[in-house]
Structure 1
Amino acid sequence: MKISYKWLQEYLDLDLPAQEVAEKIERSSVEVDSVKVPMDGLKKIVVGLVTKVEPHPDSDHLHICQVDVGDESLQIVCGAPNVAEGEKVIVALPGSRIANNVKIKRSKMRGIESSGMLCSLDEIGLDKEVVPNEWADGIYLLPDDAVLGDAVFSYLGMDDALINIDVTPNRGDMLSIYGTVKDLAAIYNLKDHFNVRSVTENGQQATDTEITATANPDLAPTYKLRVINNVLIKPSPRWLQIKLWQAGIKPINNVVDVTNYVLWKYGQPMHSYDLDKINGQHLDVRYAKAGETITTLDEKSYELNETDMVVADKNQPVGIAGIMGGQQTEITNETTNVVLEAAVFDPIKLRKTARHYVIRTEASQRFERGINVGGVQQAIDEAAALISELANGEVAKGTLNATELESVEPVVSTTLTHINKVLGTELSMNQVVDIFDRLGFTTDVENDALAVKIPLRRWDIHEAADLDEEVARIYGYDNLPVTLPDTDGMVGHLTEPQKLARSARQVLEGLGLTQAISYSLTTAKKAGMFLMQPSLATELKWPMTQDHAVLRMNLISGLLDDVAYNNARKVKDIALYEQGRVFYRNDADEVRPVEVEHLAGAISGSLDQAGWNQKALPVDFYQLKGIVNQLLINLSISGEIEYVATDELPEMHPGKTAKILVHGHEVGFIGEVHPSIAKQFKIAPTYVFELNLQEITNMPKNDNQYQLISKYPTIKRDIAIEVAKEISNEQIISVIKKRGGKLLNSIHLFDVYDGDKVAAGQKSLAYSLVFVNTKETLKDEDVNAAVDKIKKHLTEELSATIR
């Protein structure tokens, strides 16, 4: 919210630099985004008087103007349609700087010399969105009392400092000049002189004879209307327009501008209707009906839901309650009778509607964060008084109250002892009471106890902790004593799951992978890929984008997005891993999904770099399997690790995918991404794995222990067998391990052959077996006996032929 410093100074005797006041606000109340003076960076822009206008001989729209700037007369060529003799204008002199640091030089326009420029508002820095329609297509005309040669900035409010505050949700009272003034008055211990206009009901009719209203109290606990007759719609006076465009609001006309002015001054959203366009002269706050539509003031059409709050006349909705009015009843130049609306709408229902239609307005922002329920009447009265003054209107007698919330100031109790204990201070009762008085709170004191009555403008104060905060910030956070926490010292340490996760990261990074971090939110399609268990999607009710609408149920799809990002930028060799949580829902009635820790990796291209004597080979299934296998070994998993071929995952290549089992329990999968999925992601062939890290964490682990290196020599024996092609390497190794005895130390497959030298349907495999005895020197007869036993059982169990 942009706040004019000069507007604050109208109600507070502040003579400090705006930057200093902004810093005080940030240190005591809410964050300040910036402090800007619109004239900064502009120079040599002055008031000029057009003394003569002639048409350009070589143009049908340019004019040759003689402009008096006080100490000299300049010839300036201008194309604005509203330039005229006798008008005072904005003149950028030769050598001046206008918006966007543009320098104005003497030049020729179609052969005619031009010494400067006559400027529009946006050309000297105002946002085009806030320039009033009357000046949108031409230059801006200054008031008659503007002094020739003076800088124009003071006439346009551009010499004012604009403090842009970022209001937190709990301090909605600061979304107004009124709330900011009250807060600064307390901070600086000043008395404000906030002016409130009183209304004179000078009309002949009563409000309730011109319009009727009803309101659902659950939707609008307070709903008030006033009528102003015989208004003359015209542009607002310059002072009002300046206040609005400083706030970032476009001036429209003297009625609409008044409602926006009151919004900024009091934080009370208001709306104005053309009374003669309201069917049946009746307004009703209700839920929308199925099939109802509305075209809002921004010319957008909406089909309403039955949960939307609307303001409707006898026939149809004329506004989305608290958010935006309808085009049907807008104030136009032909309007003569105006209905003013001021209300308190249900913030939760209003926010849901605003989010559903993606409509964010200044009004909805304030209703969502809360408004001063005790100031609604004051706001509507001041608006009626201003419209009467600026539009020559006649204010009808009385306010029509369809509903009105009972305004009771809450009382919060605390004690001086409690405040001092929480803040670590030694404040006296008089100091605390003085702080509450500065805030406008009423305090009753009895011994150590305080009963504090809170004004309705501070709806964020509910309990003793809130009073503690108020005392702290007004007393000054810098004045609070600084102490070290009084706690028993203890050494920090990682939990077992944290140790395992960190160890997993170290292993993968040591094997050449780089950590990636993906969004937990993705699309519904990507969330449903690579599922390790059946699950329902967890959808966000109000996603910021459709690409981040569902909680992920796998990590691989996020990694594939990263691979695609790199592939699109000509990076071919990619090795990534990610550790994070996935979210499962087993039942549609589950409010919160189950969070499970997973670990995944993706490798595309080559993991090894090319050298002078070897090429970089593309990654394959076995290389990735080696990485995963080493990871599980390093994690000291107790149990046999198995890889079982599977075609159950539709996103994985059916012939290059395997389940990962530990002691018979499935903990993940590994393989190549299906070519069709790779094509969807626009990536090169990619191998991936995903593990249920939480399940691995819960599995029993081998105790860390070391094995002595034998001081006795090993014996190596090779064995070659011929078996049926359907016999797997795993089956053969299982037999060798089982029958090899305690002397068998390692097994290594070094050759596979299935050519024409073996029988059809057969294959030949050769293994190196290493035997060792840690206690004594091995004997050939012991090794021979072990090898013979292995051969025997390979023949019996697998029908193998020893070669």
Structure 2
Amino acid sequence: MRLSYKWLSEFVDLTGVSPEELATRLTAAGLAVDSVEPRNHGVSGVVVGHVLTCERHPNADKLNVCTVDVGGAEALQIVCGAENVAAGVKVPVALVGSRLPGDVQIGKAKLRGVASEGMLCSARELGLETRWLPAHRTNGLFLLPQTAPIGRNVVELLDLDDVVLDVDLTPNRSDCLSLRGFAYEVAALLGRENQFDAVAKSQTSELSSAGPLKIHLETDACSVYAGQVMDATHKSESPLWMQMRLLASGVRPIDCLVDVTNYVMLEWGQPLHAFDADCIEEETIIVRSAAAEEVLVTLDGQTRILDETMTVIADPTKALGLAGVMGGQNSEITSTTRRIVLESAAFHAGNTRRTGQRLGLHSEAQQRFERGVDMAAILPALQRATDLLVSLAGAERDGGPVVVGAMDGNTLSRSIAFSPARCNRLLGANIEPAEMRSIFHRLGFTLTGHDTAGEWSVMVPTRRMDLQIQEDLVEEIGRIHGLDSIPSTLPELWISKEAVHLDHRLRSATRHALAWQGMNEVFTYAFVSEGAANALLLPDHSPLAHPIPLMRPMSEERSHLRTHLLPSLAEVALHNLSHGAAGGQIFEIAHVYLADSLPLLQRPSEPWMLGCLWFGSTPESFSERPRLYDFYDAKGVVESWLTSLGFDQLQFRPADESWLHPGRSAQVLAKGVCLGSFGQLHPLVMRSLRLPHALYGHFDLDKLAAHLPEHRLVSPLPKYPQSRRDVAIIVPEEISAEELLKAAEDAVHARRGEVALRAEVFDVYTGKGVPAGHRSIAMALTLSAEDRTLTEDEIQASVDGVVESLAEKYGAILRGQDSGHASRME
């Protein structure tokens, strides 16, 4: 909302309060002012001039030599090249010594041999808001009304001595979409009298008997409708003062009729609309629901297909406009219009918003209707617009306004119970009841009484629809009193360690463990497109393949609740890759939404899921060149994370998830329970997600929490030296390394129970020297005892036992044994 400081000062005395100070006070009260911008960008010394003569320049075809009366003793000779300069027009004249925006100083000049004593100015040269001016006002000179006094300062004439405050309103403050609302607000903040109501009454004439219009309300989407019939011919322009106020407010001046409706909307916050009365059959307005596939051509020339959820203004034969959104072309005001119907109404906020969204329309009027308009302003705004049209456009009333619906604003006011003691307790302040009464009075609220317990009854006017409960009134007291004046106090909180739920602790521990390993947490939308899960190659019977649709989605890309985290994480990866990142490792902990059936018959399940994505290549470091993330990067992160949670003896089995590569993925088990899966993405999935290379981990944290170990097993540090021996064996490819490690540990434990063995794989080799269908696996065997240092014989006996056991169970042979070489032992 663009707020004119000069216009506001007509209703509230702003003496001694600069625009900057007012902006600070408004921002502190919850109405954030984004900018304070003076309309004058450096204009000085520019006056109104009357062009007396205009003749062709003797030495230039596109220049004219004008004599201009600027109110001085003698007329000035000024050379001008504007096409619209002519004898008799009044224009802004920059005198010698004056300044224009951009620090341009005007001096005497000679143009093609002819002296020029100043400059005739265009709108752009004056720094006017040309983006909101009609095209004909921005081409050539900015022509002034013939009534403009010669010699008058243009800064005053065009209200360039004004300052505009750009206020960022929150959706609940619809009352401040008008000068009326700001007058109440500023008067309350400054402790000064609000003159809006007094000024409004002085500008409004007496009502006459109802006019010939007939109105029928046939829908609950309109609670009040008022119409005024007038004889009014088309007038090209509104007064200059009105145009300047519209420009300051960011509204384009068009013609007198449209400008009056916009001016009153800015003043009162009540949108108005004018119909050509001769286009309304039987002088009858019907407010009804649109018929299915009813067609209306709106004022923008677009053909709109309507449905039953939309509300239209109609006559007995046709629709005339979309209620609260846009009028129809079939009742548009034109140069041939002789009679008009001026509309002022209250349309249902939600219905107006949905209609605009479905048709892709948005307007200043719609913005106000969808936030809610003040019922008490409907008739006064209509009267105000009628009086302006009578005085400015020569219109004549055809009777008085016709009103249908509940119009008494007083009966619509709300009474809210209020306790001064509770107010102070909630604010942590000590504000006197007398000051609270004063604040309510300045805001335009009334106190209808209070009982012996100190409870007040506060009548809130209809313009403040955002105030519904006592806490809302407490907030009003706090912000008008000044939040900076309320002392800061720390709340008393009791913290219980047992109050932290296990699920929360698990998520927190997971975040810390993954971040410690260099992964970055991301937060993505829970909404995805309908086909987002199609890339995962899911079978049709899978609940992951059937996302839940939203009733009113933000867009087609955000139309369903996600069933899987991979599509969302893939979006993040693609964004990073497209912006020059070589790769990354990210994770997200979030809900997915799984329905038992569609359409929903019961609330869907919302499990907490962990999704991890490794994409692209690793970062370059001092010790390692960049390389593609591989299976073992993901396995290392997963193992470290689960181990930190207390899981031991993890097992890895081939995964059977449709989105994972069948030969480069694994599921993780602990004591026979599957905790999740990870691995390289299936090539078709990567192609569908447009990822060149990626690995993904998928874990159900709710299931994991149910199997979280209650106690952690901790082994003491060894007291005696450990001994390591490396052995390389050749086994068939189908035998997993995990089986070999387990068999090695079992062999040592079975033969020598006092000897502990920790076996790890450090190399896997296929190629020359290894038979086809086999592979070489090199294991590091670390042996120790709790009560002594092992002898060489004990170490060798244990290693021999491992080799014999592996040979017996899996047909393993020591690498090089078949060629006569000694077994590889160190």
Question: TM tier, shorter chain?
Answer: 0.7 to 0.9
Is residue 567–residue 689 contact of structure 2 (8 Å, CA) maintained in 1? no
| Cα drift, residue 786 of structure 1 | 4.8
| Alignment partner, residue 54 of structure 2 | 53
- Rounded to whole Å, the distance in 2 between the matches of 1:383 and 1:120 is 31
Q: Partner letter of residue 585 of structure 2?
A: L
Per mean C-alpha deviation after superposition, the further-off stretch among 656-665 and 270-279 is 656-665
| Alignment partner, residue 193 of structure 2 | 190
Is residue 294–residue 326 contact of structure 1 (8 Å, CA) maintained in 2? yes
- Rounded to whole Å, the distance in 1 between the matches of 2:111 and 2:3 is 41
2:271 to 243, 262, 269: 269
1:79 to 78, 82, 88: 82
| Alignment partner, residue 787 of structure 2 | 775
Are 1:456 and 2:465 matched, yes or no?
A: no
| Cα drift, residue 665 of structure 1 | 3.5
Residue by residue, what CA displacement relative to the aligned partner does 1:737-788 show, whole Å, maximum 9, x if unpaired? Answer: 3333153422233554555755554444343322211222335665566556
Per mean C-alpha deviation after superposition, the further-off stretch among 110-119 and 18-27 is 110-119
Q: 1:458 to 1:766 in 2, by over 3 A?
A: closer
Q: 1:492 to 1:265 in 2, by over 3 A?
A: farther
| Alignment partner, residue 823 of structure 2 | none
| Alignment partner, residue 8 of structure 2 | 8
- Rounded to whole Å, the distance in 2 between the matches of 1:638 and 1:127 is 72
1:651-730, aligned counterparts within 5 Å? 652-675=660-683, 678=686, 683-701=691-709, 703-704=711-712, 706-730=714-738
| Cα drift, residue 292 of structure 1 | 1.6
RMSD across aligned C-alpha pairs, in angstroms? 3.7
Q: Which ranges in structure 2 are unaligned for 5 or more consecutive residues? A: 818-826
| Cα drift, residue 333 of structure 1 | 1.6
- Rounded to whole Å, the distance in 1 between the matches of 2:58 and 2:529 is 63
Q: 1:777 to 1:345 in 2, by over 3 A?
A: same
Is residue 670–residue 689 contact of structure 1 (8 Å, CA) maintained in 2? yes
Residue by residue, what CA displacement relative to the aligned partner does 1:317-364 show, whole Å, maximum 9, x if unpaired? Answer: 221111111122111121111011111111111112222233222212
Per mean C-alpha deviation after superposition, the further-off stretch among 40-49 and 166-175 is 40-49
Is residue 508–residue 577 contact of structure 1 (8 Å, CA) maintained in 2? no
1:112-511, aligned counterparts within 5 Å? 117-132=119-134, 135-144=137-146, 146=148, 151-187=153-189, 188-192=191-195, 193-196=198-201, 197-199=203-205, 207-208=211-212, 211-404=213-406, 407=409, 408=411, 409-425=413-429, 429-443=433-447, 444-447=449-452, 448-486=454-492, 500-501=506-507, 503-511=509-517
- Rounded to whole Å, the distance in 2 between the matches of 1:789 and 1:487 is 63
SS in 2 for 1:453: strand
- Rounded to whole Å, the distance in 2 between the matches of 1:89 and 1:740 is 106
| Alignment partner, residue 748 of structure 1 | 760
Per mean C-alpha deviation after superposition, the further-off stretch among 250-259 and 471-480 is 471-480
| Cα drift, residue 92 of structure 1 | 4.8
| Alignment partner, residue 628 of structure 1 | 638
Q: 1:184 to 1:744 in 2, by over 3 A?
A: same
Q: Partner letter of residue 741 of structure 2?
A: I
Q: Which ranges in structure 1 are unaligned for 5 or more consecutive residues? A: none
- Rounded to whole Å, the distance in 2 between the matches of 1:111 and 1:376 is 62
Per mean C-alpha deviation after superposition, the further-off stretch among 70-79 and 83-92 is 70-79
Are 1:32 and 2:24 matched, yes or no?
A: no
| Cα drift, residue 90 of structure 1 | 2.3
Per mean C-alpha deviation after superposition, the further-off stretch among 287-296 and 183-192 is 183-192
SS in 1 for 2:304: strand
- Rounded to whole Å, the distance in 1 between the matches of 2:804 and 2:349 is 82
| Cα drift, residue 727 of structure 1 | 2.2
Q: Partner letter of residue 81 of structure 2?
A: C
SS in 1 for 2:370: helix
Q: Partner letter of residue 583 of structure 1?
A: V
- Rounded to whole Å, the distance in 1 between the matches of 2:493 and 2:777 is 67
| Cα drift, residue 274 of structure 1 | 0.4
2:585 to 561, 576, 582: 576
Per mean C-alpha deviation after superposition, the further-off stretch among 18-27 and 51-60 is 51-60
- Rounded to whole Å, the distance in 1 between the matches of 2:24 and 2:41 is 20
| Cα drift, residue 591 of structure 1 | 6.2
Is residue 299–residue 329 contact of structure 2 (8 Å, CA) maintained in 1? yes
| Cα drift, residue 271 of structure 1 | 0.9
Is residue 31–residue 167 contact of structure 1 (8 Å, CA) maintained in 2? yes
- Rounded to whole Å, the distance in 2 between the matches of 1:497 and 1:11 is 58
Is residue 610–residue 698 contact of structure 2 (8 Å, CA) maintained in 1? yes
Residues matched between the structures, number: 793
Is residue 535–residue 688 contact of structure 2 (8 Å, CA) maintained in 1? no
Residue by residue, what CA displacement relative to the aligned partner does 1:524-545 show, whole Å, maximum 9, x if unpaired? Answer: 4446655897264355555555
Q: Partner letter of residue 78 of structure 2?
A: Q
| Cα drift, residue 521 of structure 1 | 4.6
| Cα drift, residue 185 of structure 1 | 2.9
Per mean C-alpha deviation after superposition, the further-off stretch among 546-555 and 275-284 is 546-555
Is residue 410–residue 453 contact of structure 1 (8 Å, CA) maintained in 2? yes
| Cα drift, residue 710 of structure 1 | 2.6
Q: 1:309 to 1:663 in 2, by over 3 A?
A: farther
SS in 2 for 1:375: helix
Residue by residue, what CA displacement relative to the aligned partner does 1:607-657 show, whole Å, maximum 9, x if unpaired? Answer: 45366xx754443222332233233223332452314244x324x444433
| Cα drift, residue 510 of structure 1 | 4.6
Is residue 5–residue 163 contact of structure 1 (8 Å, CA) maintained in 2? yes
| Cα drift, residue 287 of structure 1 | 1.7
Normalised to the residue count of structure 2, the TM-score between the two structures is 0.85
- Rounded to whole Å, the distance in 1 between the matches of 2:745 and 2:687 is 43
Per mean C-alpha deviation after superposition, the further-off stretch among 328-337 and 465-474 is 465-474
SS in 2 for 1:7: helix
SS in 1 for 2:14: coil
- Rounded to whole Å, the distance in 2 between the matches of 1:149 and 1:591 is 75
1:585 to 578, 585, 594: 594
Q: 1:62 to 1:698 in 2, by over 3 A?
A: farther
Aligned-pair identity (%) = 31
Normalised to the residue count of structure 1, the TM-score between the two structures is 0.87
Is residue 41–residue 101 contact of structure 2 (8 Å, CA) maintained in 1? no
| Cα drift, residue 687 of structure 1 | 3.3
| Alignment partner, residue 794 of structure 1 | 806
Residue by residue, what CA displacement relative to the aligned partner does 1:468-498 show, whole Å, maximum 9, x if unpaired? Answer: 3333344443444554435568899976655
- Rounded to whole Å, the distance in 2 between the matches of 1:158 and 1:492 is 66
Per mean C-alpha deviation after superposition, the further-off stretch among 752-761 and 773-782 is 752-761
- Rounded to whole Å, the distance in 2 between the matches of 1:15 and 1:110 is 50
Q: 1:716 to 1:122 in 2, by over 3 A?
A: same
Is residue 175–residue 267 contact of structure 1 (8 Å, CA) maintained in 2? yes
